[in-house]
Structures are given as structure tokens and as C-alpha cells.
Amino acid sequence: MCYYNSIKIEKGTKISIKGKIKELPEIDRPLQSGFEYGNWPIVKLANDDIDLELAHWELIAPWVKSTLDVMKGREKFNTLNATSERLLESKLFKQPALKRRCLVLSSGFYEWRHFKSAVASKEIAYPYFVSLKDRPYFLMAGIYQPWVDVESGEAMNTFSIVTTHANPFMEQIHNKKKRMPTIFNEQQASQWLDPNLPEADILALAQAQYNPALMKAYTIQKQFRNAQAPQEAFQYEGLPELIQ
């Protein structure tokens, strides 16, 4: 699942969605874990325009009343990701999917590949950094939910990243659960933000698989979460090459 993300936006980079062109702020976050429950840049529709904002990565239900209740809920489940196939079946995800769809900015994400070598007695997980060949950043499907802590009065937008079945390329990497974030091209991104999108189209877009020929990935060190350069390539002996 998509729990570790990266974003690098250079100064002057522009985004074009639904015929609107906006200049993005300079951003450089080589690694952020969803389990930090921090803010992450999302793009949403606002008054027939596109708006970029930092939102809380973890969709919080409107019936949850306080931060303490949020923390207790994390012990049972997490809402960093939303499963595309069940978006409209879920009490938590249905209304955001119908009315509050957003785009999640990314330059790449981190995922684990499981492999049992001839000399290893147990299965080993190898981390990969996954990005696109043809662009420095891309847009993932997201849903968002405004939330207010009734105790403190703090208000925020919270979101989940939508995930779908892995394409043939990602099946080699996330080879256990075989899932990946739903990545859009520009046309799909514009459709996703359309407030009048029919339910059938919402589900179809949520399950879209990005062209595997446009994706790339390489192995990184296992301690990447604590490394100063988490995306630095690291070669493992005996690990089968990816078919690209």
C-alpha cells in the first residue's frame, strides 16, 4: 500500500487541470511516512478553480469527535489509503468519493518486494523507489473530508490516497498484496475533479491502472527510512531484475 511518499517540485513548475494553470510552490520532501500523520499537498476544486493546499494525510470521519478518539481509532485500522473497489460501499469513504475528490501530488513512492533466495531460510523484503519515466511529478487519486476537533475547535481537511490493483510492472514489486496508488494522466485528473462525475465513472477512474511502460523503479537500502538520502540506489545480489 502507499504509505511512504516523496515530492520534489522545482520553482516555476506549473500544473494544468481542467483548463486552469497554476504555478506550484517549491517543495522538497524526499520521504514522508503516512504514519507520521502529517500534512501533504493535495489539489482540489474550489469555486470552479483549482486550489493547492496542505491537508492531513489520514481521512478522519465526521463522526469522530476529538484527536484522542482519532488516536484510539488508529489502533484498529488506518485510513491513509482507500480501496478503489469499495469506495462507494464504505460508510467512511462513500460521501468523500461522491462529493470531495482530490489529487495527491507525488514524485515517487516507496514499496517492498518480497523474495526468497536460494540461500535464505525465510522470505526477505526489499524496498524500492517507484517513479515515472516521463515526468518529475504526477497526480494520484485522493478523497478528502473536512474535520473539526470539537474539543479544541481545530479545523482541517483530511484525505486518503486511493489504491487499485497493481499493473503488470507493480505486480513484480508489490508482489504480496499486488496493489498500487491510482495514478492519473492529465485528462483523467481533470475528470476526477469533475463535481458531476457519475458513480460508474468514479469507480472506473478509481480503478484505472497507469501505463506500466511509463514507470520505473530501483532498489534502495533497507534502512532508507532513517537515511539522509532515502532514494539512493542500492544493489542486492541474487534479486531478480524487474521486467520493464
pLDDT in tens, 186-204: 999 999 999 999 999 999 9
Contact 211, 146 (CB under 8 A): no
Give the pLDDT of residue 46.
87
Cα–Cα distance between 33 and 6 in angstroms, integer? 9
pLDDT tops 90 at residue 119:
no
In degrees rounded to 5, what are phi and psi of residue 217?
A: -160, 155
Q: Where are the domains of the chain?
A: 4-226
Whole-model pTM: value is 0.95
Average per-residue pLDDT for the chain: 94
Measured at the alpha carbon of residue 106, what is the angle toward residues 155 and 92, in degrees to the nearest 5? 45
Which CATH homologous superfamily contains domain 4-226? SOS response associated peptidase-like (3.90.1680.10)
C-alpha of 120 from chain center: 32
- Cα 77 to Cα 109, 111, 155, 160: the distances in Å are 21, 20, 22, 13
pLDDT tops 80 at residue 78:
yes
Give the pLDDT of residue 118.
66
